[in-house]
Amino acid sequence: MTKRPGFPVNLDDARKPATGRLAPVKPSAAKTPLAKPSGQALGKSLVQPVTSAPRPLGLGLDSGAVRARMVQKLGEQGIQDPSVLAAMGQVERHRFVETALVNQAYEDTSLPIGLGQTISKPNVVARMIELLREGHQGKLGRVLEIGTGCGYQAAVLSHVATEVYSIERLRGLHDKARENLRHFRLANVHLILGDGMLGYPKGAPYAGIISAAGGDTVPQAWLDQLAVGGRLVAPTITTAGHQALVVVLKTEQGFERRVLEAVHFVPLKSGIA
Ligand code: SAH
């Protein structure tokens, strides 16, 4: 397993008194490849990568080409928003999973990221961001993500929103996300260690709020911190007793709520650990 270097971590700890602006994720001088090329490189790929130069995956595959296939599949599964598909094609998901799981990074599956948590399936990430952007032209404004996890969804969001505030309650994952994201130099992603059930009032009002963890209800703080015209997408327990995607639109008149397909997310928990 590739051992990643430790970095000095500048925590934006929500329990500390406010210190003004949050620091964006800083690029690091140290670059650690996630996986060593296996030495079985397939030679020059015939498929053009979606964006940057091809990067070797653990199996000697070209990650750009593998990602392009993932994006094609997302399209076949019904994802239509071109900016969501472009963002999914841009973010190297293999940089967010453990070395041993790199060859599964572009499969439509959730994967363990440590501390009992998981990175969501690409299809679910794309679907939720598409719902968040519904009715929007151009980039979304400020977005709040509850449940940073490994930082993958925050990276995807950074391409479709002007600012991303992403809050995580587990220090171990908050730190991991910071390390994972450093490589991408995303100046518009702000990581916060804190209890996302309280939202993050300093960044409010938000054009979008997206939760990667499922609660029994949508916390009032999220509704309060949503801008008029803003949308919230969150896995929530329905009256039928199962978890489903819930979309809430805040209007001048009040809230419009829609319950969509059943999903399986890790639980939303309170407090920091
Ligand atoms: N978006 C993530 C998915 C992480 S899984 C990714 O791309 O990897 C959901 C995460 O929500 C877990 O890391 C869990 O610790 C976190 N979580 C659960 N309750 C939370 C809360 N109240 N505040 C912040 N994070 C929370």
pLDDT band of residue 62 (cuts 50, 70, 90) is confident
Rounded to whole angstroms, the Cα distance separating 215 from 120 reads 16
Predicted pLDDT at 11: 28
Q: Measured from the CA of 173, which atom of ligand 1 is nearest?
A: 13
**Where do we find the tokens 């968040």?**
132
38 is catalytic: no
Q: Measured from the CA of 150, which atom of ligand 1 is nearest?
A: 8
Q: Does 117 sit in the ligand 1 pocket, CB within 6 Å?
A: yes
Taking the centre of ligand 1 as the mean of its atom positions, its distance from the CA of residue 52, in whole angstroms, is 29
Contacting residues for 80 by C-beta, under 8 A, at least 6 apart = 130
Share of the chain above pLDDT 70, in %: 78
Alpha carbon 186 to chain centroid, angstroms: 13
Predicted pLDDT at 25: 55
Rounded to whole angstroms, the Cα distance separating 227 from 201 reads 12
Indicate the domain borders of the chain: 37-56+139-267
- Backbone φ, ψ for residue 244 (5° rounding): -140, 160
DSSP tally for the chain: helices H, then strands E: 6, 9
Nearest by Cα to 193 from 174, 176, 213: 174
pLDDT higher than 80, residue 5: no
- Mean predicted lDDT score pLDDT of the chain: 84
Annotated catalytic residue, options 63, 110, 120, 166? 120
- Exposed / middle / buried, residue 249 (Cβ in 10 Å: 0-12, 13-18, 19+): middle
Strands (E), 64-132: 111-114, 117-119
pLDDT higher than 70, residue 141: yes
Q: Does 119 sit in the ligand 1 pocket, CB within 6 Å?
A: yes
- Mean local confidence (pLDDT), 105-118: 96
Verdict on whether the full-model pTM lies above 0.85: no
Q: Does 196 sit in the ligand 1 pocket, CB within 6 Å?
A: yes
Dump pLDDT digits (tens) for 21-36.
454 554 443 333 333 3
Taking the centre of ligand 1 as the mean of its atom positions, its distance from the CA of residue 96, in whole angstroms, is 14
Predicted pLDDT at 8: 29
Query: Omega into 219 within 30° of 0, i.e. cis?
Result: no
Give DSSP secondary structure letters for 45-76.
-SSPPSSS---B-TTS-BHHHHHHHHHHHHHH
Q: Measured from the CA of 153, which atom of ligand 1 is nearest?
A: 7
Architecture of domain 37-56+139-267: 3-Layer(aba) Sandwich (3.40)
39-53, 145-159, 257-271: least confidently modelled range: 39-53
pLDDT higher than 90, residue 213: yes
Share of the chain above pLDDT 90, in %: 76
6 or 144, higher pLDDT: 144
